[in-house]
């Protein structure tokens, strides 16, 4: 079993990644450097005298042996998730639809029987598990934030806890082994990934199936989502790297499928070796990765990222020279990367607006003094342009904002900046 020698968690600082976090190979290849980025949840209140702020190098490294992409620095989660960082529900429409689709897929491929148990790691408010509360199936959620309380209120048994081997063993002792374990959008965030997988094995029945969904590295390359690179996201998986990780622990990948969540993810089914037939989807995705994840693709990606920055700046310069006002729409974590990498400041972006009730309101965008204001300002002020910082859901956002009365034009910053 490979274990990381030193963890950033509890260090109060950061550690350099000098070996691949999945396969331990030492020669990691740099793909892209986005500069030194501030922690995305460190947002001073508007009007606070400005003082020093930390910034961490954001370099994307690639492992040639297992094809995992990973950040070159791991920052202590205590810095990335300060106590002031509140829980915000991550269950958007696209996520709810994805969870409903996942439950239908499980029903058809590997149906659960009455009394069998499904455990969701990082279960949030229980949205995924709520789809399985039928036919006598037992559900159980493990969630590190207070969102678990919402799940319990909805009748979904859950505990508030980080997931690790110890918690897995305890859960198995109390609830029994699980026929299905799910972990959606979890594998990128947790530092000691090998401990997580060995915990999953401790929890999984002999014939059990583990299903993970992770942001997919190919989607990042294809749609130029460099703005999803920030220090909360430690890794960007390929199927090849997930296969390597799971096989290290005796799990076999039996099915894989690309899904649209988080701008493009991969859903991977795994079980103990030789328990289930391996579907053709596995070889197919692995082949595609061999063809597409190449040095040429990385060079092209880097050029495209740089060009998108220059093109966006050129577009914004034109608008500003005509006296146009530009409001940013939404301050998701990815907005911080885009704003800091492109170099937007309060002279370019007048403000960023957030939905009423967001804890980000009345604060500055990390690394800048661009104010975050309530969304009502967009409709009251009617700036000439709205810059969509959640551009990956532009098609969902634009009709909504227009319907609610915004009369200006929209700037979609990526993959190629455009006005519509
Ligand atoms: Zn590796």
In the β-sheet with 28-37, what is the strand arrangement from edge to edge? 28-37, 56-63, 69-71, 235-236
- 333 vs 132: CA distance, rounded Å: 31
Q: Tell how far the Cα of 180 is from the centroid of ligand 1, in angstroms.
A: 27
Residue 418 forms beta bridges with which residues? 412
For residues 371-398, average pLDDT:
95
Q: Tell how far the Cα of 239 is from the centroid of ligand 1, in angstroms.
A: 12
247 cis-preceded (ω within 30 degrees of 0) = no
Q: Tell how far the Cα of 5 is from the centroid of ligand 1, in angstroms.
A: 16
Q: Tell how far the Cα of 245 is from the centroid of ligand 1, in angstroms.
A: 9
For residues 79-104, average pLDDT:
78
Q: Is the pLDDT of residue 83 over 70?
A: no
Q: Tell how far the Cα of 59 is from the centroid of ligand 1, in angstroms.
A: 16
Q: Is the pLDDT of residue 142 over 90?
A: yes
- 275 vs 277: CA distance, rounded Å: 7
Q: Is the pLDDT of residue 221 over 70?
A: yes
Rounded to 5 degrees, φ, ψ at 302 are -60, -45
Q: Tell how far the Cα of 158 is from the centroid of ligand 1, in angstroms.
A: 34
Judged by average pLDDT, the poorest of 133-137, 254-258, 383-387 is 133-137
Helix (H/G/I), strand (E/B), else coil: 328: strand
Q: Tell how far the Cα of 63 is from the centroid of ligand 1, in angstroms.
A: 5
10 Å Cβ neighbour count for 12? 9
- 27 vs 246: CA distance, rounded Å: 21
- 19 vs 298: CA distance, rounded Å: 20
Average pLDDT taken over every residue of the chain = 94
Q: Tell how far the Cα of 222 is from the centroid of ligand 1, in angstroms.
A: 21
The reported pLDDT for the residue numbered 195 is 94
Cα–chain-centroid distance for residue 115? 32
Q: Tell how far the Cα of 165 is from the centroid of ligand 1, in angstroms.
A: 22
- 271 vs 282: CA distance, rounded Å: 13
- pLDDT bin (cut points 50, 70, 90) of residue 318 is very high
Positive or negative torsion for Cα 133, 134, 136, 137: negative
For residues 120-128, average pLDDT:
93
Q: Tell how far the Cα of 140 is from the centroid of ligand 1, in angstroms.
A: 32
- pLDDT bin (cut points 50, 70, 90) of residue 3 is very low
More confident residue, 9 or 210: 210
The reported pLDDT for the residue numbered 84 is 65
Using only the alpha carbons of the chain, give its radius of gyration: 22
- 34 vs 250: CA distance, rounded Å: 36
Task: Give the model confidence (pLDDT) of 244-254 as tens digits.
Answer: 999 999 999 99
Structure tokens at 274: 């030789």
For residues 209-234, average pLDDT:
95
- 318 vs 321: CA distance, rounded Å: 5
The reported pLDDT for the residue numbered 64 is 97
Task: Name which of 352, 345, 340, 420 is nearest 390 in CA terms.
Answer: 352
More confident residue, 41 or 14: 14
| H or E element, residue 121 | strand 117-121
- 206 vs 201: CA distance, rounded Å: 9
For residues 275-300, average pLDDT:
98
- pLDDT bin (cut points 50, 70, 90) of residue 172 is very high
Q: Tell how far the Cα of 289 is from the centroid of ligand 1, in angstroms.
A: 15
Q: Is the pLDDT of residue 5 over 80?
A: no
Task: Give the model confidence (pLDDT) of 179-197 as tens digits.
Answer: 999 999 888 888 999 999 9
For residues 37-66, average pLDDT:
94
Q: Tell how far the Cα of 19 is from the centroid of ligand 1, in angstroms.
A: 8
Q: Tell how far the Cα of 391 is from the centroid of ligand 1, in angstroms.
A: 31
Task: Give the model confidence (pLDDT) of 328-383 as tens digits.
Answer: 999 888 999 999 999 999 999 999 999 998 889 999 999 999 999 999 999 999 99
The reported pLDDT for the residue numbered 386 is 98
Q: Tell how far the Cα of 237 is from the centroid of ligand 1, in angstroms.
A: 10
Q: Tell how far the Cα of 112 is from the centroid of ligand 1, in angstroms.
A: 34
The reported pLDDT for the residue numbered 89 is 53
- pLDDT bin (cut points 50, 70, 90) of residue 85 is low
**385-388 vs 409-412, strand pairing mode:** parallel
Q: Tell how far the Cα of 147 is from the centroid of ligand 1, in angstroms.
A: 33
> Is residue 363 a contact partner of residue 351, using CB atoms and an 8 Å limit?
no
The reported pLDDT for the residue numbered 283 is 98
The reported pLDDT for the residue numbered 216 is 97
Q: Tell how far the Cα of 24 is from the centroid of ligand 1, in angstroms.
A: 6
Q: Tell how far the Cα of 17 is from the centroid of ligand 1, in angstroms.
A: 12
Q: Tell how far the Cα of 322 is from the centroid of ligand 1, in angstroms.
A: 50
Q: Tell how far the Cα of 21 is from the centroid of ligand 1, in angstroms.
A: 6
> Is residue 350 a contact partner of residue 325, using CB atoms and an 8 Å limit?
yes
> Is residue 335 a contact partner of residue 227, using CB atoms and an 8 Å limit?
yes
Q: Tell how far the Cα of 144 is from the centroid of ligand 1, in angstroms.
A: 28
């Amino acid at each position: 079993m490979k274990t990381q020698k030193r963890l950033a968690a509890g260090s109060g600082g950061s550690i350099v990644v000098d070996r691949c976090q999945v396969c331990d190979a030492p020669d990691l290849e740099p793909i892209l450097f986005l500069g030194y980025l501030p922690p995305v949840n460190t947002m001073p209140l508007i009007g606070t005298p400005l003082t020093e702020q930390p910034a961490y190098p954001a370099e994307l490294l690639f492992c040639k042996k297992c094809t995992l992409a990973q950040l070159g620095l791991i920052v202590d989660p205590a810095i990335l998730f300060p106590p002031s960082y509140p829980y915000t529900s991550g269950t958007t429409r696209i996520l709810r639809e994805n969870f409903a689709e996942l439950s239908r897929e499980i029903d058809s491929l590997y149906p659960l029987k009455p009394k069998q148990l499904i455990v969701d790691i990082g279960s949030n408010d229980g949205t995924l598990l709520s789809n399985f509360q039928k036919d006598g199936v037992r559900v159980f959620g493990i969630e590190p934030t207070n969102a678990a309380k919402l799940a319990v209120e909805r009748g979904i048994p859950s505990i508030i806890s980080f997931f690790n081997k110890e918690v897995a063993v305890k859960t198995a002792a109390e609830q029994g082994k699980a026929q299905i374990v799910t972990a959606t959008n979890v594998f990128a965030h947790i530092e000691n990934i090998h401990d997580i997988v060995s915990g999953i094995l401790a929890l999984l029945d002999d014939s059990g199936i583990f299903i993970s969904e992770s942001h997919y590295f190919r989607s990042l390359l294809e749609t130029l989502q460099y703005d999803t690179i920030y220090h909360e996201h430690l890794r960007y998986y390929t199927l090849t790297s997930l296969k390597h990780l799971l096989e290290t622990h005796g799990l076999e990948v039996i099915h894989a499928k690309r899904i649209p969540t988080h701008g493009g993810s991969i859903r991977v089914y795994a079980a103990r070796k030789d328990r289930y037939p391996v579907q053709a989807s596995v070889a197919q995705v692995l082949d595609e990765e061999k063809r597409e994840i190449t040095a040429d693709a990385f060079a092209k990606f880097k050029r495209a990222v740089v060009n998108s920055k220059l093109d966006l700046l050129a577009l914004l310069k034109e608008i500003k020279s005509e006296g146009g006002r530009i409001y940013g729409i939404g301050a998701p974590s990815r907005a911080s990367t885009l704003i800091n990498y492109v170099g937007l400041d309060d002279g370019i972006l007048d403000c960023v607006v957030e939905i009423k009730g967001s804890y980000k309101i009345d604060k500055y965008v990390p690394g800048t003094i661009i104010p975050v204001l309530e969304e009502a300002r967009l409709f009251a002020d009617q700036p000439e342009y709205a810059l969509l910082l959640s551009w990956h859901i532009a098609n969902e956002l634009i009709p909504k904002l227009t319907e609610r009365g915004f009369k200006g034009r929209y700037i979609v910053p990526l993959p190629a900046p455009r006005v519509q």
